[in-house]
Chain A
Amino acid sequence: DTGVSQDPRHKITKRGQNVTFRCDPISEHNRLYWYRQTLGQGPEFLTYFQNEAQLEKSRLLSDRFSAERPKGSFSTLEIQRTEQGDSAMYLCASSWLAGETGELFFGEGSRLTVL
C-alpha cells in the first residue's frame, strides 16, 4: 500500500498521560499536514510541514501539542498531559507542492480516547 499510513489506529489513555502519533506520507510528497476531527465536524487544521520545516500552526495547537518531521519524511504528533477534550480523530495528509492546487491525500486517522 503506497498511501498515507498512520499509527496507532486507536489509542486509549488516561488523562494526564502523553501520547504520540506517527504518520508516514506518500513517499514523493513533500508536504505533510495534521488535522483533528471530532464527531459531527469537519477536519480542523492543526499544522503543516514542507519537507522538515513547520510552516504553519493553527491557534488550535496549544503548547501541549508538538509536531516534528525531522528528516522531511515521517512525522510525529505528540500531545502532552492529555485532557478529555483532546479525544478526537487525528488525521494526517500529504501533498505534492508542485501540484499547487492543494489536493490532500489522507490517512485513515488515529483515534484518541482520553479517559
Chain B
Amino acid sequence: AQSVSQHNHHVILSEAASLELGCNYSYGGTVNLFWYVQYPGQHLQLLLKYFSGDPLVKGIKGFEAEFIKSKFSFNLRKPSVQWSDTAEYFCAVNAGTGRRALTFGSGTRLQVQP
C-alpha cells in the first residue's frame, strides 16, 4: 500500500524566508508525486507534479520540488515566501500507472507573517 508522511504539521515563517516542507512516501514501485495547496476558504489546487524525467520540478508561484528516489522524498521548496503563501500544503502519491487514487499526507499548515 502507498502512504505519505509529512513531518512538519505547522510552520511559521516571516516574509522573504526560505521554505522547505518535507514529504516522504512509502511505495516500492514507480510513483507519481504531487503537491497540492489549499488557500483559506478555497479548494485544493495542484501546485506541481512529478511523473518522470528531471527530478527537479517547478510549479506555480515560484515553488519547486525535488524527487530523491533513494530517500523516497519529494520535498517542496521556495526561496522566498510571501504572506500570500499562507495555506495548507499536501503531498500526495500514486502508483506510476496512475490507475490508483491519490494518497495524501496529513498536510502542513504554513503561516507567513508580514
Q: Residues of A with Cβ closer than 8 Å to B? A: 4, 33, 35, 40-45, 48, 56, 91, 93, 99-109
Does B44 contact A102, Cβ atoms closer than 8 Å? Answer: no
B contact residues, total (Cβ < 8 Å):
27
Give chain B residues whose Cβ lies under 8 Å from the Cβ of A106. Answer: 36, 43-45
Given contacts A43-B90, A43-B104, A45-B101, contact A101 B43 (CB under 8 A): no
Bound CA–CA A43/B92 (angstroms) = 10
B43 CB contact (under 8 Å) in A42, A48, A56, A108: A108
CA distance A18 to B102 in the complex (A): 28
Say whether A42 contacts B98, CB under 8 Å: no
Give me the 10 closest cross-chain CB pairs, A-B, nearest first. A42-B104, A102-B98, A100-B98, A106-B44, A102-B94, A108-B43, A101-B51, A45-B101, A43-B104, A106-B43
On whether the beta carbons of B46 and A102 are closer than 8 Å, the reply is no
**A76–B61 Cα gap in the complex (Å)?**
34
| In contact, A45 and B98 (Cβ under 8 angstroms) | no
**Cβ of B42 and Cβ of A101 under 8 Å apart?**
no
Residues on A with beta carbons closer than 8 Å to the beta carbon of B99: 100, 102
Which residues of B sit under 8 angstroms from A56, Cβ to Cβ?
A: 100-101
- Interface flags for B5-49 (1: CB within 8 Å of A; 0: not) read 010010000000000000000000000101010000011111001
> Taking the nearest CB of chain B, how far is it from the CB of A90, in angstroms?
12
Which residues of A are found within 8 Å of B107, using beta-carbon distances?
40-42
Please, what's the 1-or-0 string for B86-104, where 1 marks a CB less than 8 Å from any CB in chain A?
0000101010011111111
A101 with B98: CB separation less than 8 A: yes
What would be 5 A-B contacts, judged by CB atoms less than 8 Å apart?
A: A4-B43, A42-B92, A91-B43, A106-B44, A108-B42
